[in-house]
Structure 1
Amino acid sequence: MPYRRRSGRARVRGRDEGQRLEAGRLGGELGERATLVQFSSAFCAPCRATRRILGEVAGMVPGVVHLEIDAEARLDLVRELGVLRTPTVLVLDAGGRVVRRAAGLPRKADVVAALGEAV
């Protein structure tokens, strides 16, 4: 997921790649093939657009689940994962391993491409 500073698009970071996250810590079940984890906040307009995009992708790709986490309610996880802004999206493989991370509003095509790394 590319980053364009002025357009508000997603910024890719490799910091957490390889780290495993368990379903219990995320508050939902992992997808059979991949999981899209979104960190959001209540008054974040890009978070609403990201929710729509990730929901559409999860609906299009069998075995993919979208989980949204309220960053303010899960400060422990936010600090552990170094989430600095919302929305932040983590792409997990079937085992819960982080394969991709991006901050900002992603494009649908970039999310689909990132899923290609996870499945």
Structure 2
Amino acid sequence: MRDEGGSTGPGRRHERLLGRAELGAELGERATLVQFSSAFCQPCRATRRILAEVAAMVEGVAHIEIDAEDHLALVRELAVEKTPTVLVLDAAGRIVRRAAGMPRKADVIAALGAAV
């Protein structure tokens, strides 16, 4: 999973805040794993399982899955180009990491370190 800092350098946090209004669910107390999926995406199912397991393991972490087709404006705004795409948000809703494709569980756990 990569930093969301862009040209501002590694470790810097993206200033866009996401919350209930954009995501349709409450953020986790410590961090949130946001998954953009589509109906016929095979890797999305495995990603859902991985993220749900991590959220259950780490206290204060929520997993929110978003149907990309139903949220096209948000998909465009966040430059989501394929599914699954996973965003790691800190407690305030800042994007601190993102990855496209099915992540490994160890990488998700490591990425949470940037959020908490």
TM-score by length of 1: 0.87
Give the counterpart letter for 1:33 in structure 2: R
The answer for unaligned runs of 5 or more in structure 1 is: 2-11
CA contact (8 A) 1:90 1:102 kept: yes
CA contact (8 A) 1:17 1:101 kept: no
TM-score by length of 2: 0.89
Alignment of 1:42 with 2:34, yes or no, is: no
Provide the aligned C-alpha RMSD in A. 1.3
Q: Aligned residue pairs: how many? A: 109
The answer for unaligned runs of 5 or more in structure 2 is: 7-12
Give the counterpart letter for 1:108 in structure 2: K
User: CA separation in 2, counterparts of 1:77 and 1:32?
Assistant: 22
Give the counterpart letter for 1:35 in structure 2: T
Kindly report which structure 2 residues correspond to 1:1-119, keeping only aligned pairs within 5 A, or say none: 1=1, 12=2, 14=4, 15=6, 17-119=14-116
User: CA separation in 2, counterparts of 1:47 and 1:13?
Assistant: 22
Give the counterpart letter for 2:86 in structure 1: V
Q: Percent identity?
A: 72
User: CA separation in 2, counterparts of 1:18 and 1:106?
Assistant: 24
Give the counterpart letter for 2:66 in structure 1: I
CA contact (8 A) 2:3 2:96 kept: no
